[in-house]
Structure 1
């Protein structure tokens, strides 16, 4: 079971609450939730690693990641303004590895929740 610790209070911001749920879905390997909330033209740029373009390739990458189980997700900060948002924190894997992350999101529109791009910075700690 994945332990979730979320420090930001997202109660008055629907987009911040959405980003919290989106990050929890990543930690739990909930591919259906994640792919249901991105555009068909999604671009995921994992800095220093790879760039994934299109929903099909994005889904394939998520399916590969499901085999690596997360034991704990700590969300330190979530920000949102207009068409952009960001989240940062740490992830502890069941295999003992730990990572710090910062993800920057661009949404299709200021009101819509569909994500059109993600830029991820991930560092082993």
Structure 2
């Protein structure tokens, strides 16, 4: 089971709450929920690693990552403005590794909650 620690107060911002739930689904490996939140032409730029284009390739990448189990997700900040958003925090894995992450999101539109692009920065930490 994944422990969730979230300090951002998302109560008055539906997009911030959406990003919180999206990150929780990501940490839990809930591919079905995650895939419902992105557009068919999603672009995921994993900085220093690779760029994934299209929902099918996005789902394939999620399945590859599913074997790495997250024991704890710490969401430190979630931001949202117009059609853009961001989240950062720490992932603690079951194998003891820790990663700091920062994800930048672009939504399909200012009112929508489908993610059109993601840029992810992930750094291994002690």
Q: TM-score range by the shorter chain?
A: over 0.9
Secondary structure, counterpart of 2:68 in structure 1: coil
| Map of 2:31 onto structure 1 | 31
| Map of 2:4 onto structure 1 | 4
Gaps of 5+ in 2: none
| Map of 2:64 onto structure 1 | 64
- Equivalenced residue count is 125
What is the CA-CA distance between 1:46 and the residue it aligns to? Answer: 0.4
Secondary structure, counterpart of 1:101 in structure 2: strand
What is the CA-CA distance between 1:25 and the residue it aligns to? Answer: 0.3
TM-score, scaled to structure 2: 0.99
CA distance in structure 1 between the aligned counterparts of 2:111 and 2:6, rounded to whole angstroms = 24
CA distance in structure 1 between the aligned counterparts of 2:59 and 2:92, rounded to whole angstroms = 22
CA distance in structure 2 between the aligned counterparts of 1:44 and 1:30, rounded to whole angstroms = 17
Moved over 6 A (4+): none
What is the CA-CA distance between 1:41 and the residue it aligns to? Answer: 0.2
